[in-house]
Amino acid sequence: MSDWVVLEPMHWTTLVSAEELIAALGQPGLAIIDARATLADPLQGDRDYAASHIPGAVHANLERDLSDHSRKGHGRHPLPSADTFCRWLELWGITPEHQVVVYDARDGSMAAARAWFMLRLLGHRHVAVLDGGYARWRDLHLPVSNTPATPNASTYEADYDAARLVEADGLRELTRPGAPLLLDARAPERFRGEVEPIDHVAGHVPGAINHPNAGNLRADGRFLPAAELAAAWRAVIGTREPAQVVAMCGSGVTACHNLLAMEHAGLAGARLYADSWSGWISNPARAVERG
């Protein structure tokens, strides 16, 4: 590690490259979260972490740590309360002063962007996603470890910024003037209701627009440059302020990938419908649209 020199302080708020992170590895004030997850197997991320991870990283399990399944009717990955999430941060030794870097297997959608947005909801400024994830870290032959991190417990007291979250009632009459623009990050065939491999009802929220999160990425799993993202997102949202944009997906996880892309593009302030499609259809009285 002595061959690497930190040239600049850590002030990463959206994305950080593997080259930047390796230069800062081991620096006081840096905290790393491994958020690798696989929907088909809730424990696969735990096994992947145990096999190898970035040195010093703690592991956040999507189902256990980044969701609260005691909250019924809020979709497949209910957003935990701020207090519950703060307790996890304390166990991981993270304070509001830390520079946090989150990574997952590759592109940030499962579930690094989710952890990033949850920290942003708490007002944590210096948190970023590792661009290209663990795959790029390994491609560059950077150091890994199979030793679990043992951080000292910390104190973290914060509350979510409620203005960044939208409930189902706030999505009624999406076609009225001034209504928010609801962007669904799922694949087009799921949005149209042609297939539904996960949830028990196919389709989308009436008035929503499809904007798959895969459009934020290059072929290698890294994000497009900020200027390209800004142009692409402006083509979708027009002259709207970011606060008039609401992101959703199947369960509030990949939607955060769109929120991260917007912020990296300089369009900060969009909101999240955390319950997303799986939460919407938990109430059979809510309308469903297909096509």
The structure tokens 């989710």 sit at: 114
**Among this protein's residues, is 249 annotated catalytic?**
yes
Per-residue exposure over 106-124, b if at least 16 CB sit within 10 Å of its own CB, e if not: bbbbbbbbbbbbbbbbbeb
Residue 166 CA to residue 173 CA, distance in Å, equals 14
Distance in angstroms between the alpha carbons of the first and the last residue of the chain: 54
Contact indicator for 112, 103 with CB cutoff of 8 Å: yes
Of the residues 130, 249, 256, 261, only one is catalytic, namely 249
Contact indicator for 154, 94 with CB cutoff of 8 Å: yes
Backbone phi and psi for residue 231, each to the nearest 5 degrees, phi listed first: -65, -40
Stated length of the chain: 291
Residue 163 CA to residue 205 CA, distance in Å, equals 21
Q: Angle 147-116-200 (CA atoms, 0-180°, nearest 5)?
A: 100
Question: Within 10 A of 21 (CB to CB), how many other CB atoms are there?
Answer: 21
| Residues annotated catalytic, as ranges | 249
